[in-house]
A and B are shown apart, each in its own frame.
Chain A
């Protein structure tokens, strides 16, 4: 059964750029930068297949799966939060951003445990090309997660307002788009580093 619910009981499905145009320029730039990272991993895999497959075998897939699920779930919470802020602004909407932040913090803690376990086992960025890419690219991604957490804190404060202007909704959407970008980039990093 398909239902439509709407605060104004007025169906409105306008075509417009989600968030601010500037965030999409940033998304495009980041996608291009990470495309280079993805290509470098694939090239390394093609040129040093044995080393890459043996190194990949030393990763604990459970960390990667847990982090993927945390980011996907965090994205869902943030997307619901934005939807609720648009349709029925209220102080209660902050819970969705709080849950999203919880997932992000879980990702960071999990990543620290994973790196720590690898370093204790004797793996470092100088072990081989696979581990160099592993630490550098997941490290750059981790910086994105930390910035994203800062953005979500800002959105959490904004979401507590009982009314939001169109401009504020755009800001909320832009912040959420950045958080989803962090999720999206992880999906391909996870595939290339943990699954190939």
Chain B
């Protein structure tokens, strides 16, 4: 785990941060600019779930973890996102 991977001179961590900030702006747009309530809910929850996965995979280093730990994290994320979408009347 001593390797630092760089893409275009920036570490993968920094790229992950750019993705997370970009998705925050996207979620903000979903929450304020969309006319359809269903699209708002779907967009906001799915964007949040993807951001959480990026934090887990990159920052919490699940990319180096045994598969079972990564799968358990992804399973929790899918279950909680699905339950929230069900309760909010989207699925």
Contact = CB atoms under 8 A, between A and B. Distances in A.
Contact of B5 (A4, A39, A45): A4
Interface in B17-66: 17, 20-21, 24, 27-28, 30-32, 40-41, 44-45, 47-48, 51-52, 55-56, 58-62, 64-66
Contact of B7 (A1, A43, A79): A1
A79 B83 CA distance: 30
Contacts, number: 146
Nearest to B84: A42
A184 B75 CA distance: 15
Contacts of B30: 195
Interface string A23-39: 01000100100010011
A18 B65 contact: yes
A167 interface: no
Nearest to A83: B4
Q: What is the predominant secondary structure among interface residues of chain B facing chain A?
A: helix
Contacts of A1: 7-9
Interface string A61-102: 100010011001101101110010011000000000000000
Contact of B60 (A18, A65, A87): A18
Contact of A184 (B7, B56, B89): B56
Given A17-B69, A180-B55, A196-B88, A6 B4 contact: yes
A54 interface: no
Interface residues of B, number: 49
25 contacts: A3-B5, A8-B2, A13-B1, A14-B64, A15-B66, A17-B69, A35-B80, A45-B88, A46-B87, A61-B28, A65-B24, A65-B28, A72-B24, A76-B14, A79-B58, A83-B11, A87-B4, A176-B60, A184-B52, A184-B56, A191-B27, A191-B47, A191-B48, A194-B31, A195-B28
Interface of B: 1-9, 11, 13-14, 16-17, 20-21, 24, 27-28, 30-32, 40-41, 44-45, 47-48, 51-52, 55-56, 58-62, 64-66, 69, 72, 76, 80, 83-84, 87-89
